[in-house]
Amino acid sequence: MNTQLIMDYLSALSRNNNREWYHANKEDYKKANAEFEKLLQTLMLEIGKFDSSILQNNPGDLTFKLVRDTRFSHDKSPYNPAFRAHISSRGKLPVPVGYYLMIKPGGESFLGGGLFADMFKDATTMIRDYILQNGEAWEAIIHEPEFEKYFTVQGTALKKVPAGYEREHPQAEYLKFKSWYLEYPLRDRELRDADAFIAKAAGLFRIMKPFNDYLNRALADFQMPAR
């Protein structure tokens, strides 16, 4: 696993974010992407030690394209210079929630978990209703000392508790959320040693697993909208 090759390629793409450079350096992309998939395979084997539900995945099915959708963006750069993957029991679908990895040089890499997508209204409602009925379990997870050492629950949130929910509910602040996720930022130097990075990432994913499990219990009956 050559993480330096990954970082070097993404740094070069960031400096040369145009289609001509990308296509002229397609072989370098293939080499870097192959290293990223090796990294994912090794990481999955480590995650599998505490969450075997993800082991059936093929690393290549978990990654996201570099190409950006620029239709509604002021930034017309054609590529996102980042390798990204979501590892869950159903691959890279946003539900069930799983373990997210983004490698992007310049201090923008991070490990993530939980529900990032807030466009699925049914998912948002399911989680709110579950927190409403299982508030003590929620508090136990997010205030577990090891969890608090590394994570704070983030997400898109309303200014007020939505209609139909108690404003005085003990978890009222979290009922305002439309998405509930975790992020652990990574410095570039933490990615230089692949083995050390794998060990750290797997350890942090183990700590976030109860949070993911809680959300997945809430989302047990969720159906992805048909395209």
Quote the CA–CA distance of 222 and 84 in Å, as a whole number.
24
Helical H runs in the chain?
Answer: 3-15, 19-24, 26-47, 121-133, 135-142, 145-150, 172-175, 194-218
With residue 56 as reference, give the H or E element that holds it: none
**71 within 8 A of 161, measured Cβ to Cβ:** no
Predicted confidence (pLDDT) per residue in 151-190, tens digit: 999 999 999 999 999 999 999 999 999 999 999 999 999 9
pTM greater than the 0.85 cutoff = yes
Distances (CA, A) of 88 to 27, 44, 97, 127: 29, 10, 6, 18
10-residue stretch averages of pLDDT, the chain, 227 residues long: 95 97 97 98 98 97 92 85 97 96 97 94 96 97 98 96 94 97 97 96 98 98 85
